[in-house]
């Protein structure tokens, strides 16, 4: 039996997940869970990175001191784009900013004034979002941020945490590809873009592939945890890359994936990047996955909207759990209104903002939490249908199966709505795709799992999957026409 530990950090929480791999089957066990709460101070919104690492240390201690485990590897995955800056002595010079920080407002337009949008896409093949790393760095440059001048190295968040684990400063390829200064054709940083924007490419740590062993735990951590010099792996460090690696797909039918959680990442797995006018027009991105596959996808503002509504209702004194909200939404009136999920990227009173959007677009505002959640879930399903059609246009093939993985795959109502909206077969699961992918990419690096096909076979043999089949109904076609008439990219 092989034991690997995955630290899987999402926008709301983090977990230390133990993976036991034996005779081609993977068992997962949560050893430690902790909150990931950003901190707002007068000058902006930050991640509490030191607290996150404190909890990573605690996860190691539980594994070593409490459970007396012998581990074959440890790996960290997180969300994309955000980064920490360290100085020449390896010290963090500023807590990493949150990608939703208002500092990024207006940076797309500012950058396009220097380098045309089309040229940036030609160099990077990346989807344009104002919080991509390159625009965060450009905001720092324009503000003449002192910490940028003090920095010696940029490490993406999982790479910063891996550095604190191992003492090795490297940037892993899947997370680097979320930056919008990675060149997926030539498999390197786009120094052309960085130079054009006046950014220092010398800040960037060398790139390593997913599954690379960085070394062992630092001497202090080895002693503190009781784990000794356990190997630290640069796994598929972008959480979506780990989740996509664990999609239980077979190659007999064309498929796409939705990594469903705070964000919905919907796309195809390709052998080569697609960088052309159609991909640019539809704002697709070419990010890197396990075995150097290309994750050709579109970011969609996913269950973040439900999370923010739940938070707003709790502040008003009414606590709902996600299961309650889903059950309530299932009984609500269908097709009462539609919204564009991507119009709600920033924090705020989400129920009020959704109501205002509906009134602005000539629709009745949702009158209850049940109705609000129903509008969100139906609109997500319609957005998936729109992105599905665009994926088919770009790829030239009809997609037969939609794999939904991640925490959002537990939402049976949303899964059913997606199948109804698209008329396609939906396969939901595994829920713990990110942790499973993190662990199994480590296992690939350790030589325990042979390749990506073998990894997916382990997933199919290890986790229950649920299938939904529905034909697109006229009511959904009418709702889709309404959605298209109200929304626009």
Q: What residues does 207 pair with on adjacent strands?
A: 171
Smallest Cα–Cα separation from 8: which of 240, 260, 299, 322? 240
Whether 449 contacts 455, CB under 8 Å: yes
Q: For the chain, how many helices (H) and strands (E)?
A: 19, 22
Round to whole Å and give the CA distance between 246 and 437: 5
Label residue 196 exposed, middle or buried (CB < 10 Å: 0-12, 13-18, 19+). middle
DSSP letter (8 states) at residue 298? E
Q: What residues have CB less than 8 Å from 415, skipping those under 6 apart?
A: 404, 409, 426, 428, 466, 468
155: left (phi over 0), alpha (psi -120 to 50) or beta: beta
DSSP letter (8 states) at residue 229? S
Structure tokens belonging to residue 387: 């992105």
Edge-to-edge strand order for the sheet containing 264-270?
A: 285-288, 294-300, 264-270, 255-260, 401-405, 425-428, 466-468
Q: What is the per-residue burial (b if ≥16 Cβ within 10 Å, else e) of 137-168?
A: bbbbbeeebeebeebbbbbbbbbbbbbbbbbb
Q: Is 239 annotated in the active site? A: yes
The 3 state secondary structure assigned to 40-75 is EECCEEECCHHHHHHHHHHHHHHHHHHCCCCCCEEE
Edge-to-edge strand order for the sheet containing 92-94?
A: 92-94, 83-86, 153-156
Maximum distance among all alpha carbons in the chain? 64
Of 66, 200, 239, 316, the active-site residue reads 239
Positive or negative: CA dihedral 358, 426, 269, 237: positive
Torsion over CA of 424, 425, 431 and 433, rounded to 10 degrees? -80
Round to whole Å and give the CA distance between 51 and 253: 44
Round to whole Å and give the CA distance between 148 and 133: 13
Active site residues: 239
């Amino acid at each position: 039996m092989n034991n690997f530990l995955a630290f899987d950090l999402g926008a709301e929480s983090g977990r230390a997940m133990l993976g036991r791999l034996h005779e081609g089957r993977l068992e997962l066990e949560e050893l430690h869970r902790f909150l990931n709460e950003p901190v707002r101070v007068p000058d902006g919104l930050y991640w509490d990175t030191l607290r996150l690492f404190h909890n990573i240390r605690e996860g190691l201690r539980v594994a070593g001191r409490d459970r007396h485990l012998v581990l074959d590897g440890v790996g960290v995955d997180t969300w994309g784009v955000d980064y920490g800056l360290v100085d020449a002595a390896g010290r963090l010079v500023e807590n990493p900013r949150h990608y939703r920080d208002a500092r990024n407002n207006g940076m797309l337009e500012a950058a396009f004034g220097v380098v045309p949008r089309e040229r940036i896409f030609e160099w990077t093949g990346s989807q344009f979002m104002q919080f991509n790393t390159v625009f965060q760095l450009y905001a720092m440059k324009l503000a003449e941020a002192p910490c940028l001048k003090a920095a010696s190295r940029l490490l993406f968040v999982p790479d910063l945490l891996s550095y604190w684990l191992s003492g090795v400063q490297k940037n892993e390829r899947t997370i680097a590809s979320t930056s919008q200064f990675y060149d997926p054709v030539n498999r390197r940083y786009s120094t052309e873009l960085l130079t054009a924007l006046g950014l220092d490419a010398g800040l960037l740590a060398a790139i390593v592939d997913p599954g690379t062993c960085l070394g062992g735990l630092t001497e202090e951590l080895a002693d503190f945890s009781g784990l000794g010099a356990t190997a630290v792996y640069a796994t598929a460090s972008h959480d979506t890359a780990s989740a996509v690696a664990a999609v239980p797909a077979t190659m007999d039918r064309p498929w796409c994936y939705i990594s469903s959680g705070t964000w919905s990442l919907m796309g195809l797995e390709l052998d080569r990047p697609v960088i052309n006018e159609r991909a640019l027009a539809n704002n697709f991105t070419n990010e890197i996955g396990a075995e150097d596959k290309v994750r050709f996808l579109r970011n969609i503002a996913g269950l973040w909207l439900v999370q923010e509504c739940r938070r707003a209702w709790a502040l008003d004194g009414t606590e709902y759990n996600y299961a309650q909200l889903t059950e309530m939404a299932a009984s609500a009136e269908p097709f009462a209104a539609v919204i564009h999920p991507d119009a709600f990227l920033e924090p705020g009173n989400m129920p009020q903002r959704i109501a205002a959007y509906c009134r602005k677009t000539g629709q009745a505002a949702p009158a209850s939490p049940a109705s609000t959640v129903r509008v969100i879930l139906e609109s997500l399903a319609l957005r998936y249908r729109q992105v599905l059609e665009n994926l088919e246009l770009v790829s030239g093939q009809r997609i037969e199966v939609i794999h939904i993985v991640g925490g959002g795959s537990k939402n049976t109502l949303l899964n059913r709505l997606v199948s109804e909206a698209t008329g396609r077969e939906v396969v939901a699961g595994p829920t713990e795709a990110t942790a499973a992918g993190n662990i199994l990419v480590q296992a690939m690096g350790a030589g325990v799992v042979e390749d990506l096909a073998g990894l997916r076979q382990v997933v199919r043999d290890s986790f229950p999957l649920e299938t939904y089949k529905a034909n697109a109904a006229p009511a959904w076609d009418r709702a889709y026409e309404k959605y298209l008439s109200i929304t626009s990219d």
